[in-house]
Amino acid sequence: MRSRSAIVLPPVVRQLGDLKTNPHVTLGGSSVEELRQLLTLRDLWSEARTTGDPISAHHRRSAVEFINAAILHTLYGPEWARAEATKKPLKDQLAEFKTLIWDQPPGTSLGAAIFAKRGELAAKNTRDRVREFSRLAKNYLALPLFEVKVADLESSCDWIAEFALRLATAPDNALAWSDGLFPAAIDYVFRFPQLARSARMLALSVASFDGTQSMPIIALTQWGWE
């Protein structure tokens, strides 16, 4: 396996404008390959070493934040990404997310159910959260079956629900965990974005109940995926 390494070098600063960072990523339509590239890019920048110069660290942080926003855009759509980018206190944003899950009543109803259960969900362990999310998604969204064979003794409904929650909290982990099923799972999520958005709202609701004040972007800490 080929190893990778990167170092973030500070720019040559001759005037104040040289301190600005202007990261850019061209986004097409949501696709498996685009998401793979964003996750790979995020991993490379996250692990890149800095020179010890504060400008170098600032550039790395800015790049990672920009890539995180691009991942949100790809997974949940531009409206959702814009809502998270406002950086309002998390508890003030949850009502808006309820309306963004789906433009049909079941989406808002599922959002309301998740919000009402946020304390209960925050108290559960990760495995029980997956089961509860799977149950809620089946009850409210009535999605077609994820018709891919998964591990024995595990329903495809529970598997795709867990995949959506992993995407919502640690997308690089979702990529590794799903392995060869990643393309089929991402295709399903792109066809039915209400599943991914409701998973993201559940993750944000749990974070808000735990006292998180600002909007987390990626890799929420309350999950502990293996």
**What integer pLDDT is reported at residue 29 of this predicted model?**
61
- 184 or 9: which leads in pLDDT: 184
pLDDT in tens, 128-141: 999 999 999 999 99
**Measured between alpha carbons, how far is 111 from 97 in angstroms, rounded to an integer?**
7
Question: Looking at 103-117, 151-165, 176-190, 204-218, which range is the least confident one?
Answer: 204-218
Residue 68 maps to a domain: no
Say whether pLDDT at 14 is over 50.
no
pTM for the complete prediction?
0.81
| Domain extent at residue 106 | 88-209
Say whether pLDDT at 216 is over 90.
no
pLDDT in tens, 151-195: 654 688 899 999 999 999 988 888 889 988 999 999 999 999 999
What is the token pair recorded at 184? 């089929």
**What integer pLDDT is reported at residue 132 of this predicted model?**
95
Residue 225 maps to a domain: no
**How does 11-47 read in b/e, with b if 16+ C-beta sit within 10 Å?**
eeeeeeeeeeeeeebeeeebeeebbeebbebbeebbe
Name the domain count of the chain: 1
**What integer pLDDT is reported at residue 196 of this predicted model?**
95
> According to the per-residue pLDDT averaged within each range, which of 73-77, 83-87, 101-105, 204-208 is highest?
73-77
**What integer pLDDT is reported at residue 19 of this predicted model?**
43
Where are the extended beta strands (E) located within 132-226? Answer: none
- Average pLDDT of the chain is 79
Residue 167 maps to a domain: yes
Say whether pLDDT at 98 is over 80.
yes
Residue 83 maps to a domain: no
**What integer pLDDT is reported at residue 153 of this predicted model?**
45
**What integer pLDDT is reported at residue 185 of this predicted model?**
94
Q: Mean pLDDT throughout 19-43?
A: 70
Residue 219 maps to a domain: no
Among 99, 69, 112, 91, CA closest to 210: 91
**What integer pLDDT is reported at residue 16 of this predicted model?**
38
Q: What CA–CA distances, in Å, run from 84 to 20, 88, 91, 97, 164? A: 23, 8, 12, 9, 18
Residue 65 maps to a domain: no
Residue 75 maps to a domain: no
Question: Looking at 82-96, 122-136, 192-206, which range is the least confident one?
Answer: 82-96
Q: Give the rounded distance of the alpha carbon of 101 from its chain centre.
A: 14
Q: How confident is the model at residue 59 (pLDDT cuts 50, 70, 90)?
A: confident
Where are the extended beta strands (E) located within the chain? Answer: 7-8, 49-50
Residue 166 maps to a domain: yes
Indicate the SS3 state at residue 50: strand
